Amino acid sequence: MKKVSILTLIFISAILASCTGNNDKEIAHSKLATTADGKDIGSAKFFLLGDGKIKMDLEISYPERADSTVAVHFHEHGDCGNMGENTHGHWNPTKEAHGKWGSAAYHSGDIGNIQLDAKGHGTITVTTDRWSVQKNDMKNIIGRGIIVHGGTDDYTTQPTGNSGPRVGCGVIVKN
């Protein structure tokens, strides 16, 4: 019996070690909520990587939107009031056209479309040098809004991608 417990402890320690085995530092986050009634629909976490890039892990849990696509963008202002309209337009520090992430031209917060499964769950990870958390840096993402749209980004229509209503919203906050 004692042998089993010790083995179990060793096993649990190994699992814990592997879970915390990365050195990425979480530097910012955002809680996403519905614009209509403030219901929690997910979150974004931002990590500073060893090479200076920032990685975002964004997760959506939105049963009402199961089996659909939602478009996600960073918008200019971190104010989710007025059904998300107070975030204004897409954050666009590089003065480019709206487009698909990684294409020839796109806004620095054009995350794009996320497919939600039968439970309304979906994730996306973006790693980039287009973001920072430095004050007075035009790449600073702190205080920007994240908008979840009820439609699909066509990656073409300017300057919005014709992404539909603003169904979810969050503000990027420094940790």
Q: Which residues bind Cu ion (CB under 5 A)?
A: 73, 147
HEC string of the chain?
A: CHHHHHHHHHHHHHHHHHHCCCCCEEEEEEEEEECCCCCEEEEEEEEECCCCCEEEEEEEECHHHCCCEEEEEEECCCCCCCCCHHHCCECCCCCCCCCCCCCCCCCCCCCEEEECCCCCEEEEEEEECCCECCCCCCCECCCCEEEEECCCCCCCCCCCCCCCCEEEEEECEEC
For Zn ion (CB under 5 A), the number of binding residues is: 4
CB nearer to Zn ion: give 90 or 144.
90
| Binding-site partner at residue 65 among Cu ion, Zn ion, none, CB < 5 to 8 Å by type | none
Regarding 149 and contact with Zn ion (CB under 5 A), the answer is: no
Structure tokens at 29: 């986050």
- In the complex with Cu ion, the residue whose CB is nearer, 61 or 160, is 160
The nearest distance, CB 167 to Cu ion, in angstroms, is: 11
To Cu ion, the closest distance from the beta carbon of 159 in angstroms equals 10
Query: Which residue has the closest beta carbon to Cu ion?
Result: 73
Residue 49: CB minimum distance to Zn ion, A: 24
- For the CB of residue 158, give the shortest distance to Zn ion in the complex, in Å: 9
Among 110, 146, 167, 172, binds Zn ion (CB under 5 A): 110
Q: 62: how many CB neighbours lie within 10 A of its CB?
A: 24
**Least distance CB 90 / Zn ion (angstroms):** 4
Residue 144 contact partner, candidates Cu ion, Zn ion, none, CB within 5 to 8 A by sort of partner? none
Report how far residue 39's alpha carbon sits from residue 65's, in angstroms, rounded to the nearest whole number. Answer: 13
Q: Which of 29, 90, 149, 166 binds Zn ion (CB under 5 A)?
A: 90
- CA–CA separation, 169 vs 72, rounded Å? 9
Q: Which does 166 bind (CB under 5 to 8 A by kind): Zn ion, Cu ion, none?
A: none
| Residues lying near Zn ion in the complex (CB under 5 A) | 90, 98, 107, 110
